[in-house]
Amino acid sequence: MLDGVQYPETGSGSAGILFAEDGPMLSTLLIISLACPQAAQDPDAPERIKALEARIAVATLLDKMAPSKEQLPRIQAVVEAAQAEREKYEADLLKIREEELAAFEEFKKEDEANQGFSPKVERRAAKAEHEEKELRKAFFDRINGFEARLAKELTPEQAEVLKAAGLSMDLVADLFRRQGPPPMPPEVDRAVREIRRTPAADFAAREDELRRQLVRALGMTPNAGDLIKRAREAMTALRELGDDEVAEKAPRILEKMKPPSELDQVRSELAELHKEKYGSIGGPGRFLIHPATREVLKKRLGPANPVPTERK
């Protein structure tokens, strides 16, 4: 358990056997395992199914990222370093939790004796709680460093996929969602097509017209903040896409044109304050420290691969 998220250990048995290959078939295999009568009678089945779900989630995430053969060992090197930090954190946390438990036992004794809580016991409990917060903050800070190291090994598109995975690695439901973004509305699609097919020699002369057309199609306020700059960046990115990339990547490019709302800004500021005081990790960090990540990467790399090292 880490910060409210449980990482089940992968076990043997039906769930372990089902994980013969990681890939699209895993979703079907998971449904079969859930419906299997033997699984319902096995008291360990829920934990093994959770472990299988975690491995499916990581495998699906890696499929979406599509790392190259050259990237996989470098990604695994960062994962192994982050996993070592997680294991050390969990060992240190266990010691603190034992101290907290001892302090709460003293609280319980004083409460049962109806004598009030002594300052000594209160200090002991407060000290253990403070040490736990400090330990978690230091751990998160170190994982933030690994997140930065991982980002150097990924393309911007891969990093975006990992970031979008969210804070939870319980991603099995993502298998059943629509694959890829929904199609663009017709007026937006027309604007994107016009931007892309305008010859380079004519683009500068038509830039303002094309920008206004795009802004109208998106239903945005023409003079909203730095919209001109954001629209220009979006149009440049749209023109650089290959024909086979438009359906997947154009919606993400256009999403970045939207200015952050006041509520978004407040949330962002609060998140930064919380991170500064207590620490936090994002989707990449959860990916790095999840036990299933190590297992899936080892399987994909195969036993013949040596211990990887990061790119310098």
pLDDT per residue, tens digit, the chain (312 aa), is 444 434 434 433 333 323 333 444 444 445 445 555 555 566 777 777 777 877 888 888 898 889 999 999 999 999 999 999 999 998 998 888 888 788 778 767 776 776 666 777 778 778 888 888 888 889 999 999 999 999 999 998 898 888 876 534 443 333 333 344 566 788 888 999 999 999 999 999 999 999 999 988 888 876 656 788 888 999 999 999 988 888 888 888 888 887 766 566 666 666 676 667 767 787 888 889 888 898 899 888 876 555 555 554
Q: What is the pTM of this model?
A: 0.56
Is 205 among the domain residues? yes
Owning domain of residue 226? 180-280
Residue 65 · residue 162 · CB < 8 Å: yes
CA 151/CA 195 separation, integer angstroms: 31
Is 9 among the domain residues? no
Is 22 among the domain residues? no
Q: 276 and 186 share a domain?
A: yes
Is 112 among the domain residues? yes
Rounded to the nearest 10°, the torsion over CA 41, 295, 162, 86 is 100
Q: 143 and 195 share a domain?
A: no
Residue 162 · residue 154 · CB < 8 Å: yes
Length in residues, the chain: 312
Is 305 among the domain residues? no
